[in-house]
Amino acid sequence: MTKPQIWVSAFLVLFILLFIIGRITKEKETERIFSNQINNTTSQQNTTELTAEQLVKNFGCVNCHGTDLAGTNLGPSLKKLSEYWSKKSLIAYLRNPTNYMNEERFKEYKEKYPSQIMPGYGEKNIKDLGKIAEYLLRL
C-alpha cells in the first residue's frame, strides 16, 4: 500500500468505529428513556390503584383528622362534609385550602386549631383527590 492509501483506510476504520460506538450509546439512551416512561406510568397506576382509605392514610390526613376522620386536637372532623361541599368544590379546596380561609367556619377552625393549618395537596394526582373527595362526601 502507498502512504495515501494507508491514510485513507485508517480514516475509514476510524469512521466505522465511531459510527458503531454512536449507535450503541444511542440505543442505551432510548432504552433508558423508554424504561423511565414505563416506570412513571406504573408509579402513577400504583397510587390510582389505592383505595380512598389508603390514600387518606398515605397522604397523612389521618395524622390531623384522626384515624376515623372524626377529628383530633390538630384538625376538625371530616364527617358530614356533604353539607358544605360538592365533589368539585372539595377537590378545589384540597388543592388550595387557603382560598377558603375567609368563610365563617374556617375562622372558627383557626381559633380552635391555632397551631395547625390544612396543607394544600395541589401537587397530588387529581384522580386521587377525586377519589378522596367522593369518599369524604360519603362519610
- Binding site residues, ligand HEC, CB under 6 A: 59-61, 63-65, 74-76, 78, 81, 84, 94, 97, 105-106, 109-110, 113, 116-119, 121, 132
Backbone angles phi, psi at 72, to 5 degrees: -135, -170
- Give the gyration radius of the chain's Cα atoms: 28
Which residues does 39 contact at the CB level (< 8 Å), separation at least 6? none
Nearest distance, CB of residue 44 and ligand HEC, angstroms: 17
Q: What is the DSSP letter of 125?
A: -
* Residue whose CB is less far from ligand HEC, 43 or 73: 73
Nearest distance, CB of residue 104 and ligand HEC, angstroms: 11
Question: How far is it, in rounded angstroms, from Cα 89 to Cα 108?
Answer: 20
Nearest distance, CB of residue 15 and ligand HEC, angstroms: 59
